[in-house]
Each structure stands twice: as structure tokens, then as C-alpha cells.
Structure 1
Amino acid sequence: MTDAPPRAELLLGREVPEELREELVAAFDGLGVTPHRVRRVVEHRGAGDIPWIVLASLPLQAFLSGLGAEAVRDAYEAFKGVVRRTARPASPAPGTLGEAREARPLVLQDTATGLTVLLETDLPAEAYESLATLDLTRFAVGPLHYDRAQGRWRSVLDEAAG
């Protein structure tokens, strides 16, 4: 008997173009996580209400464990590229006085615990490498972010709670 592939749900910001939506679905699918539901945020919410650009809800520990496998190396590289393109701030439309938006992360959320991992657009290679072996049971509260100065994934809220 074979296990069904993990399933994910993607919630996209309104500004994510259809082409990038398709790349995200393909990137997750390439890593063995099937996005069974892809939807956009409701229209009445403002961009300031949502600090992320894409929220992916999936069995996170299984997903992260699979990232280290040699068989998914190419798919993992494609995934990192999609994260960078997704989180890159959008430029104002030509001829408008709109402000450039801040970069917003792609967020991975564990379906079992609710723990979140923030994938920022400019993460160094070592952040992705350590993400593949990250033990989520070490954390009680998220969000997890990569601390470049310390070279590790951490939860400030866990550390504050002792």
C-alpha cells in the first residue's frame, strides 16, 4: 500500500499574477506536496492587513524532511526560485505615484500544529540547507525566521517564553 502524497492549501495575495500561481503549484507538486486548494484573499481586506504574500498550509515536518532527499534536489532549487519571485516587492504601476511595497514572505504553516515558517525573498543558501533538516518539535510557538547573524532558524517568542 502506498501513502497518498501530502496535500497543501495555498492562499495567495491578490497581487500574485496567474503565471506565478501556476509556478507555485508546480513547485510544490514537484516536491511531492499536492496543492488541492488554491485561492486568493478576500477582496475587502487591504494589503496592510496581511503581512505575507502566500500562505501554504501543509504537513510541514514531512515536507521539510523530504527537501533533503537527493531525488528532489532540482525541484527544491525550483521551489527556492519561486519563493524569491513571489516575495519580491511589486513595483508601482508606471505613471502612478504609488509607493513601492515592502517584501513580504511566503509562509509555510503546519496543518497539525499551526507553527509557521517565514521564507523571505533574500534567504541565503545555508538557510534553505538547514531548513531541510530542521526539527520542528524544538519549537512551541512561531513564527520561525532565519537569523542571519546567528546562522540558524529561531522563534523569538519561544525564546522569550524561556
Structure 2
Amino acid sequence: MTDPEPLVADLLLDRHVTPEQEQPLTDALTALGYSPSVRVLPPRRAVEPLTWLILIALPLQAFLTTLGEKAAEDGYGLLQKAIRAIRRPAPALAPTPVPTPATAPPPVVLQDPATGLRVILEHDLPDEGYRQLLTIDLTQYRLGPLHYDQARGHWRSELDEAQLR
């Protein structure tokens, strides 16, 4: 009998992501049965900054199913802890700023390579958001990105909602 092929998760990292930030994510993905492949983005000359520091490309529905199966195990908790620990790098010689949208910790983005659908995991995603994510039916979304609306208490895609209007 042959061993099943390992599941691959491609991590695309901004060059500012430190090894201390990367390692918990790769450990969590490994604990969930994925083989992380890490690439660092080259420096960019774009005017607008990246809105994320870490993009994880993997089959989303399979990943969420695995995450649900491992909810009581270490892999789920490791992923949650790693995402909550991500911080935007502070500019050199700058005092510690009051958090603003520009300095708030960036989200981790999950992207399905087959559909391009993205799920935004904010650093302050509540436990209820993680629980709902485990049971979400991704086939009902076409455009994305999905984000957890804390005021409404559920996952949504504003672009998909606008298209339905």
C-alpha cells in the first residue's frame, strides 16, 4: 500500500516576516498534515503597501474540513495562536504607535489555488469566527474575499452580496 501524497500549503511571505513569525505557522500547518512550502516576496516598488504579510495557498474546503477534524487537537490551537501573534514590523526609530488601520496587525490570508477565493483571518478573529469557519460552505461564494463581520457575528463577502442585489 502506498502512502497518501502529502498535502501542500504554499506560504507567500512579505520580506518583513521574521523567522519567529513564520515558524509557528509552518509548525501549525505541519501539525495539520500539510507540507509547507515557503517563498518570500521580493521587494516591491508599488505605491500602496501590501494589506497582508502572509498568504497561504491551499485547497480551502479540504483545509477547513481537516481543521474541523483537528479542532480538539494541537494543530488547530497552534494555527489560531500563530495568527494572533502576527505583528506588522515597526518602522525604525519610530516610537510605539497607537494602533491605527495602518499599524494594526495584518491579516493572514488563505487562498484556494483552484478558485482564487480568499478568506481573511484577522489577528483578533474571535473564537466564534473560527468555529463558524469550520462549517462554512465555500461553494456559496464566488467573488470573495470572505471576512468575519464582528458586528453581525458571521462570515460574509461584500462583493458577493453586492452582486445579488
Q: Indicate the TM-score class for this superposition, using the shorter chain for normalisation.
A: 0.7 to 0.9
Given that residues 64 and 132 in structure 1 are in contact (C-alpha distance below 8 angstroms), is that contact kept between their aligned partners in structure 2?
Answer: yes
Given that residues 9 and 58 in structure 1 are in contact (C-alpha distance below 8 angstroms), is that contact kept between their aligned partners in structure 2?
Answer: yes
Identity of aligned residues (%): 45
* Residue in structure 2 matched with residue 102 of structure 1 by the alignment: 104
CA distance in 2, matches of 1:134, 1:71: 15
* Residue in structure 1 matched with residue 11 of structure 2 by the alignment: 10
Given that residues 32 and 75 in structure 2 are in contact (C-alpha distance below 8 angstroms), is that contact kept between their aligned partners in structure 1?
Answer: yes
Shift of 1:46: 5.4
- Which of 139, 147, 150 aligns to 2:149? It is 147
Q: Name segments (4+ residues, structure 1) moved above 2 Å.
A: 44-49, 70-73, 88-93, 95-103
- Greater Cα offset, 128-137 or 1-10: 1-10
CA distance in 1, matches of 2:53, 2:96: 18
1:22-80 deviation line (CA, Å, top 9, x unaligned): 22111111111211x21111113458431111000001100001111147622100100
Within-5 A mapping of 1:12-161: 12-35=13-36, 37-45=37-45, 48-70=48-70, 73-86=73-86, 88-93=87-92, 95-96=93-94, 101-161=103-163
CA distance in 1, matches of 2:152, 2:115: 26
Number of equivalences = 159
Change (3 A) 1:97 1:47: farther
Given that residues 30 and 72 in structure 1 are in contact (C-alpha distance below 8 angstroms), is that contact kept between their aligned partners in structure 2?
Answer: no
